[in-house]
Structure 1
Amino acid sequence: MTTHRTPFRLVAAIAAGTAAALVMAACSSGGTASTSSSSKPVDGGSLTYAIANDPITLNPTGTGAGNDTLAITRQLVDSLLWQDPSDGSLKPWLATKYSANADATAFTFDLRSGVTFSDGTAFDATAVKDTFDDIASAGASSTAAASFSGYTGTKVVDDDTVEVDFSTPNAAFPNATASVALGIVAPKTTETPFDDRADGKAVIGTGPFTLQSYTKNTSTVLTKRKDYDWGPAARSNAGAAHLSKVTFQVVPEASVRTGSLQSGQLDAISSVQPSDVDTLQAQYDLVTRANPGQVFGLTFNQKRPIVSDLVVRKAIAQAVDPKAVRDTALNDLFKVADSVLGSTTPGYADTSSGSAASSGSATYDPKAAAAALDDAGWKKGSDGIRSKDGTKLQLKLVWITNFGPNQTSLELIQQELGKVGVGVTLESGTVPQYLANLTSGDWDLSWDNSSRADGDVLRSKFSSSGAQSIGASDTTLDALFTKELSQSSASDRSATFGEIQQRIASQVDFVPVHELTSIIAPATDVHGIVFGADTRLDQLTGAWKDAS
């Protein structure tokens, strides 16, 4: 294969606009890496890293347990591009450069030579084509399905060049190629049926670690690839990992994770709970970073008659006090949300009351909420819950148990809504249970977030054709998503994301409550753990432990 030495040519309009917001993300969240020792990194040693949930699947494109799945699969697979957490720009990784045509329907990637999969197979254009074709054919079974809307295929131009084609504009695609879900896998992986890859035995990537073992609900053990030498040049270590072995230990209870770190049984813990922050900050240098993407809040299932009514949705929004929820369940590391997008997301716009884009937005006002429901014919019964024409204003809210403060947040929201006569039944569950609840359609409200360093993260939920569509059938919003996908200018795309956020706010499709900040606590002898641009654990090539 031919070695490509041409400078990495970004499509400036797509990549450059990510810079300013993410510089703020990296600086405002309390640091992105554990404090480095004065000594040089030490090669060797093993790291035991606690996660809250079983990964469910080690297939990079499968539907797993969220961040805990991605923390592991990121170690196994590399991506075509790397999004730099310091400024949000797209940089070379498995691709040395890329370009796009004028209407963002075709993307050409020049590939790096000399890269191999962990089974010794050479990385080439065919592997990229097979990976992308596999993701597209998996459809709803793949977390990457939204990135392949309108996908018509990948052409192998030569061993080192691919062209990815779409029938409709997809300006979000280059950013998506930096994600774990679009990580490139070997031919033996794509030859294995999609549903047979969950245990990871068939997952073969070019990443810095390989799978040694996976024991469901217990641990995943990875070992380093000694020949790894193609990480992003902008990383602190682009070569082989310092650590010889990494064990991802499943420890569901936050208190157990904290206690095990303090007793020396664990080297690092993820998903540090806000209630433990003060204690751990006194002992360790926490790794924190605000998450880009959709914030935590309430989504309405507008296929259900009651919440398809804008009057009801607005009253619910007016009855919820985001600051009270944040102050009760969290701490100041978590920002009160003022938009459906987190403030560290490229294209973020403040849509709260008093902002430049606040026209039509609902603000906390429980008296106005009660009055509006009265005017709409929703009258309180003897139990305090309103009803209209024989239908009670009783709603089912589904949520995931993978973030400790969720229960406190939702119990307070339940109380706030009860005060204005809206009954809420809370139905919790693990990630699989939550996804099953969403798929069933038997819900009125959902509570979740979605981390991604691109405003296009909203399309899957809020467009009528999205994989998780809320069922609003909003032609204005659909047109705005179509618009952002066709824009080659980063500033134009950011402006469109502003319009999208304002439309969602004015139609009260979502009630923003708080942003998410991810927190990792490493032991004092552990260094170099960092978050990626999506505020998920990045590859551990730069992580190391002091010599014992």
Structure 2
Amino acid sequence: MPLSPTPARALRAAASALALGLALAACGTSAEPAAAPSGSASDAPVDGGDLVLAIGNDPISLNPSGIGSGNDTLYVTRQLVDSLLWQDPADGSLEPWLATEWSSSADATEHTFTLRDDVTFSDGTPLTAESVKATFDDIVAAGAKSGAAPSFVGYVGTTVVDEHTVTVAFSAPNAAFPQATSTVALGVVGAATLAVPFDDRASGTGVVGSGPFVLDHYTKDTETVLTARTDYAWGPDARRGAGAPHLDSVTFQVAPEAGVRTGSLTSGQVDVIGGVQPTDIATLEQSGYPLVHRANPGITFGLTFNGASPIGSDPAVREAIALAVDPTEIRDTALVDGFAVATSVLASTTPGVADVSEHLVTDPEGAAEVLEDAGWDKGADGIYAKDGVRLTPTLVWITNFSPNQTAVELIQAELKAVGIEVTLWSGAVPDFQAKLRSGDFDLVWGNLSRADGDVLRTQYSTAATNFYRIDDPTLEGLLQEQLAVSDPAERDAVLAQAQERLVSEHWVLPVHELTTYLGLSPDLHGVELGADSRLDQLTTAWLAG
């Protein structure tokens, strides 16, 4: 059933009904390099109003550097904290934000940032170089508890040069660090936050940022309510809407069922919904509800092998599975055209992406030939076996994106047709993470969003999380080399080699890109997606009527 309406929402619902015949706002349903804001450029923003946004999952943690539930967590925490740099979704370039300027040493082991001198946290305390140092030191001390930890490999420390200048040093080159400082996970927090034990910040207790909104209250599995800062005045100059929010408040309501979210939008009970399902895209568009969308940068949805399992360590089996799976069939069955078939491990919106589609070939007959040449024989039950062991890999996945089930079941059917019997395993996020840590799997279906090619290192390097245990010294060398190259063009060339290696050696089979879709009420304007294809700060958003 739809979410419970508020009186103000009911009044706007009537106005929305009159607007259903209007043309859609700037965004359509085709994938674009950057997300256009909702609303026309000629619209004059209206101050005031209480925005209600329906999300699919409880944030789990409101601690910006903690580990939450993914996109829905970041939608909330992005409103609470600012970052040193801002990444432009149009071209992936880094722009000033809390830092007015920055520089890196020639070997990318040191990065210096000069801060604005007019920024305050929500408790009134000023942003200083010590704030940045304390935030980064806190992340490193938290270790695996922090989602930002992979960005600090080799961290030596942060030095306070003066009140508004810091230098962050690493024991080895870290060319990806400036981009990392644009993410929510490295958002700077005040001393009041750091005084609260890391584990106790999940509920928002003591979370004090310099962002345009502050936490009013958080009710687990129900809602998170934020109120606007009227004194906010330091958004990125390169992004329109650098000043205080037009909105008075934002409520993130948890609605796990996609149908409930869509029904709540079309009945006027919420203003925007996240996680619009592919089956609802055309319906919303045809009914006059604007869609804001952008392909997610980072690692595309696909299959990754466990290099330490008997199946994942067998090059012939990896190649056969890659040949047997048809990415286009999966996209066409589980999704719609707004979700592109992958041409690389990295999505098209990722800086450093390289087209390696020449290595992505579907050939079921070729898959059978590869297996038989490697000594696998098809049994009476139609399943290949070798040395008395049947070819029955375990594929693990989670339901964080509803088309996932259709995708993995189709993969299961495609492989069964060749003679490979896949067992599917799924569980809650904590159980899934435990499964990865244990190594009790052969294949993983999933993706990982980040607007920098270094996501390949954090995902696949044996020196990082090492979930996939890939034993490939050539690949490992490329993943570490790209981190040491400060010249963007040279770094992209190394990243291209890493992408080709992952696909040509069949460690990863890219299938499709993830595209973020938000559905909006016709009277909501100025909602934007950032370079990470997640909800940007809502300083530009406003409600008509």
TM-score normalised by the shorter chain: which range applies? over 0.9
Code of the aligned partner of 1:295: T
Q: In the alignment, which of 342, 345, 353 is matched to residue 340 of structure 1?
A: 345
State the Cα deviation string for residues 291-315 of structure 1 (Å, max 9, x = none).
1110000011111112111110110
Shift of 1:383: 3.2
Code of the aligned partner of 1:287: V
Code of the aligned partner of 2:81: V
Q: In the alignment, which of 508, 522, 526 is matched to residue 520 of structure 2?
A: 522
State the Cα deviation string for residues 106-128 of structure 1 (Å, max 9, x = none).
01100111211111111111110
Shift of 1:482: 2.0
Alignment of 1:348-427 (within 5 A): 348-353=353-358, 361-427=359-425
Q: In the alignment, which of 243, 246, 262 is matched to residue 239 of structure 1?
A: 243
State the Cα deviation string for residues 154-177 of structure 1 (Å, max 9, x = none).
001111000000000000000000
Code of the aligned partner of 2:230: K
Shift of 1:375: 2.3
2:35 and 2:530 in contact (8 A); partners too: no
Alignment of 1:136-151 (within 5 A): 136-151=140-155
Q: In the alignment, which of 224, 227, 231 is matched to residue 231 of structure 2?
A: 227
Q: Percent identity?
A: 59
Provide runs of 4+ in structure 1 moved above 4 Å.
none
Instruction: For residue 393 of structure 2, give the secondary structure of its aligned residue in structure 1.
Output: strand
RMSD: 1.6
1:198 maps onto 2:202 in alignment? yes
1:109 and 1:161 in contact (8 A); partners too: yes
- 1:329 alignment partner in structure 2: 334
Q: 1 CA distance for matches of 2:465 and 2:120?
A: 33
Q: 2 CA distance for matches of 1:449 and 1:33?
A: 25
State the Cα deviation string for residues 408-462 of structure 1 (Å, max 9, x = none).
1111111001111111122223333322222232111111111111111110122
- 1:160 alignment partner in structure 2: 164
- 1:463 alignment partner in structure 2: 461
Q: 1 CA distance for matches of 2:118 and 2:314?
A: 58
Q: 2 CA distance for matches of 1:300 and 1:308?
A: 8
Q: 2 CA distance for matches of 1:382 and 1:33?
A: 58
1:287 and 1:519 in contact (8 A); partners too: yes
2:224 and 2:251 in contact (8 A); partners too: yes
Q: 2 CA distance for matches of 1:509 and 1:228?
A: 47
Q: In the alignment, which of 55, 59, 77 is matched to residue 51 of structure 1?
A: 55
- 1:278 alignment partner in structure 2: 282
1:90 maps onto 2:88 in alignment? no
Decide which moves more: 461-470 or 480-489. 461-470
Decide which moves more: 220-229 or 439-448. 439-448
Shift of 1:29: 5.7
1:78 and 1:207 in contact (8 A); partners too: yes
Instruction: For residue 75 of structure 1, give the secondary structure of its aligned residue in structure 2.
Output: coil
Q: List alignment gaps of at least 5 residues for structure 1.
A: 1-24, 354-360
Q: 1 CA distance for matches of 2:319 and 2:281?
A: 35
Code of the aligned partner of 2:370: A
Code of the aligned partner of 1:457: V
1:51 and 1:252 in contact (8 A); partners too: yes
Shift of 1:479: 1.3
1:449 maps onto 2:454 in alignment? no
The alpha-carbon distance between structure 1 residues 176 and 30, as it changes in their structure 2 partners (threshold 3 A), is closer
- 2:484 alignment partner in structure 1: 486
Decide which moves more: 343-352 or 386-395. 386-395
Decide which moves more: 106-115 or 83-92. 83-92
Q: List alignment gaps of at least 5 residues for structure 2.
A: 1-28
Instruction: For residue 314 of structure 1, give the secondary structure of its aligned residue in structure 2.
Output: helix
1:36 maps onto 2:40 in alignment? yes
Alignment of 1:490-501 (within 5 A): 490-501=488-499
Q: 2 CA distance for matches of 1:262 and 1:391?
A: 54
Shift of 1:362: 4.8
Decide which moves more: 32-41 or 486-495. 32-41
Alignment of 1:38-117 (within 5 A): 38-117=42-121
Shift of 1:266: 1.0
Decide which moves more: 505-514 or 393-402. 393-402
1:26 and 1:86 in contact (8 A); partners too: no
- 1:358 alignment partner in structure 2: none
- 2:299 alignment partner in structure 1: 294
Instruction: For residue 79 of structure 2, give the secondary structure of its aligned residue in structure 1.
Output: helix
Q: 2 CA distance for matches of 1:37 and 1:52?
A: 30
The alpha-carbon distance between structure 1 residues 350 and 37, as it changes in their structure 2 partners (threshold 3 A), is closer
Code of the aligned partner of 1:317: A
TM-score norm. by structure 1 comes to 0.92
1:37 and 1:527 in contact (8 A); partners too: no
Shift of 1:469: 4.0
Shift of 1:202: 1.9
Instruction: For residue 336 of structure 1, give the secondary structure of its aligned residue in structure 2.
Output: coil
2:104 and 2:112 in contact (8 A); partners too: yes
Instruction: For residue 455 of structure 1, give the secondary structure of its aligned residue in structure 2.
Output: coil
1:224 and 1:241 in contact (8 A); partners too: yes
2:528 and 2:536 in contact (8 A); partners too: yes
1:57 and 1:198 in contact (8 A); partners too: yes
State the Cα deviation string for residues 49-72 of structure 1 (Å, max 9, x = none).
011111111111111111111110
Code of the aligned partner of 2:465: A
1:362 and 1:508 in contact (8 A); partners too: no
2:437 and 2:467 in contact (8 A); partners too: no
- 1:309 alignment partner in structure 2: 314
Q: 1 CA distance for matches of 2:283 and 2:119?
A: 44
Q: In the alignment, which of 170, 179, 184 is matched to residue 183 of structure 2?
A: 179
Q: 2 CA distance for matches of 1:194 and 1:87?
A: 35
- 1:5 alignment partner in structure 2: none
Decide which moves more: 393-402 or 101-110. 393-402
Q: 1 CA distance for matches of 2:41 and 2:430?
A: 40
Shift of 1:543: 0.4
Q: 1 CA distance for matches of 2:451 and 2:500?
A: 19
Instruction: For residue 397 of structure 2, give the secondary structure of its aligned residue in structure 1.
Output: strand
Q: In the alignment, which of 242, 258, 268 is matched to residue 262 of structure 2?
A: 258
Code of the aligned partner of 1:193: P
Q: 1 CA distance for matches of 2:524 and 2:476?
A: 47
Q: In the alignment, which of 427, 433, 453 is matched to residue 435 of structure 1?
A: 433
TM-score norm. by structure 2 comes to 0.92
Instruction: For residue 165 of structure 1, give the secondary structure of its aligned residue in structure 2.
Output: strand
Code of the aligned partner of 1:454: D
Shift of 1:238: 0.6
Q: 1 CA distance for matches of 2:75 and 2:431?
A: 21
Shift of 1:463: 1.3
1:140 and 1:467 in contact (8 A); partners too: no
Q: 2 CA distance for matches of 1:459 and 1:505?
A: 15
Shift of 1:380: 2.6
State the Cα deviation string for residues 204-227 of structure 1 (Å, max 9, x = none).
110011111111111111111111
Code of the aligned partner of 1:314: E
Code of the aligned partner of 2:231: D
1:546 maps onto 2:544 in alignment? yes
1:269 maps onto 2:267 in alignment? no
